[in-house]
């Protein structure tokens, strides 16, 4: 519709412009053609230029209109109010400037008209842009519910933390002292995972959604917030932007997100790091009672696991598979995959 309207307006303007040129310049004497033929050619030429220019301008305006439409659809009330205030201020400034300019541009009148139109256009655009650029960040702050916990900044859960689920136990234990918030773009990513054709991804997505459904009316209560950043492409980048603008703390188990957030200067709590820090310290010589679940790679070795998943390799315990034995820690090895504990057998039971 915008494309057709732009073409109609510019074709009409081009035709009128061609006719005006034929009145201003005597091309009949210069070319030898009749006056009616010259007028016809100039009108066709002006209309053709208007058609081409209208097509280009119409497509650009259509694309701009769709971008604005999508942006407005994603805006919250605070952003819309800021945009309206900016529009009014911009138009008022344009009115003052155009009134001043019109005193000096009396002839030709069309130049004054175009200057006025451009001033109003750029005034409105600048007013809206200046107040709406931070509008998303402001709306995130204004939309942040009061957490009722002494003004603590909100804890923003990412997709991996929701699926992991351990944040709920940390909150119940009082470790997470801020209000728990899930941005809507994280909720949409969980929904995408839950609708995935891959069984594993679908199971992870449904686990996260089930947990949020449970915690929507239970303790610790998790609230969904509508803050979003349409111009930011990835969920992790949106989360970092939201945490920076609201002063929140990101809760995650994603190592890469943790590193990027810290580089960006955003506070982040990695649940895996917290769990690693809380693991019991084992020193050589400590006694350890462990259940052997399988044989190890080397001859005579048995393998068991602590409650936190740490692998324990016990020398001389291959014959004790399925039994609980007393062992003595000989060494602890820290690897990129986690810790490994080496021990030797005590008395098997």
**Domain for residue 282, yes or no?**
no
Tell me: the pLDDT tens digits for 133-182? 554 444 444 444 444 444 577 888 899 888 888 888 888 877 777 788 88
Residue 18, pLDDT above cutoff 60:
yes
Shared domain for 184 and 267, answered yes or no, is yes
Please list, in sequence order, all residues whose beta carbon lies within 8 angstroms of the beta carbon of residue 205, skipping any fewer than 6 positions away.
Answer: 163, 190, 191, 192, 193, 194, 195, 196
Q: How far apart are CA 246 and CA 239, in angstroms?
A: 10
Contact 294, 303 (CB under 8 A): yes
Shared domain for 312 and 334, answered yes or no, is yes
Contact 167, 180 (CB under 8 A): yes
Task: Supply 274's token pair.
Answer: 């917290």
Shared domain for 67 and 81, answered yes or no, is no
CA atoms within 13 A on the CB side of 178: 21
Task: Count structural domains, the chain.
Answer: 4
Secondary structure (DSSP) of 109-137: HHHHHHHHHHHHHHHHHHHHHHHHTTHHH
What phi and psi values does residue 5 have, to the nearest 5 degrees?
-65, -40
Shared domain for 173 and 265, answered yes or no, is yes
**Domain for residue 314, yes or no?**
yes
Domain with 51, as residue range(s), is: 1-74
Q: Tell me whether strands 180-183 and 155-157 are parallel, antiparallel or unpaired.
A: parallel
Q: Which of 96-110, 135-149, 208-222, 254-268 is least confident?
A: 135-149
Q: How far apart are CA 167 and CA 33, in angstroms?
A: 86
Q: How far apart are CA 75 and CA 80, in angstroms?
A: 7
Task: Supply 72's token pair.
Answer: 């407005």
Task: Supply 320's token pair.
Answer: 């004790």
Shared domain for 212 and 331, answered yes or no, is no
Question: What was the pLDDT predicted at 116?
Answer: 76
pTM over 0.75: no
Shared domain for 103 and 213, answered yes or no, is no
């Amino acid at each position: 519709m915008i494309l057709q309207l732009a073409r109609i307006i510019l074709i009409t303007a081009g035709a009128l412009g061609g006719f005006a040129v034929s009145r201003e310049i005597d091309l009949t004497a210069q070319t030898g053609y009749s006056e009616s033929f010259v007028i016809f050619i100039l009108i066709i030429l002006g209309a053709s230029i208007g058609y081409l220019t209208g097509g280009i301008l119409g497509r650009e305006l259509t694309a701009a209109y769709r971008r604005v439409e999508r942006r407005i659809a994603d805006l919250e009330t605070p952003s819309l109010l800021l945009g309206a205030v900016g529009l009014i201020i911009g138009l008022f400034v344009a009115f003052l400037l155009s009134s001043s300019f019109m005193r000096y541009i009396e002839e030709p009148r069309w130049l004054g008209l175009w200057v006025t139109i451009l001033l109003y256009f750029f005034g409105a655009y600048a007013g809206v842009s200046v107040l709406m650029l931070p509008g998303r960040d402001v709306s995130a702050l204004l939309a942040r519910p009061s957490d009722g916990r002494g003004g603590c900044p909100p804890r923003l859960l990412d997709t991996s933390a929701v699926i992991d689920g351990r944040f709920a136990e940390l909150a119940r234990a009082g470790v997470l002292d801020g209000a728990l918030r899930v941005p809507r773009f994280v909720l949409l990513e969980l929904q995408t995972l839950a609708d995935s054709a891959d069984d594993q991804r679908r199971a992870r997505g449904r686990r996260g959604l089930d947990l949020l459904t449970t915690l929507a009316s239970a303790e610790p209560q998790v609230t969904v917030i509508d803050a979003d950043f349409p111009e930011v492409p990835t969920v992790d980048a949106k989360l970092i932007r939201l945490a920076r603008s609201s002063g929140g703390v990101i809760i995650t188990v994603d190592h890469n997100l943790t590193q990027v957030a810290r580089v960006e200067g955003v506070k982040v709590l990695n649940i895996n790091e917290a769990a690693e820090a809380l693991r019991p310290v084992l020193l050589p010589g400590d006694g350890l009672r462990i259940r052997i679940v399988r044989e190890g790679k080397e001859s005579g070795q048995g393998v068991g696991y602590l409650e936190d998943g740490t692998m324990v390799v016990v020398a001389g315990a291959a014959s004790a598979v399925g039994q609980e034995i007393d062992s003595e820690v000989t060494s602890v090895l820290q690897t990129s995959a986690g810790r490994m504990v080496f021990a030797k057998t005590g008395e098997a039971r």
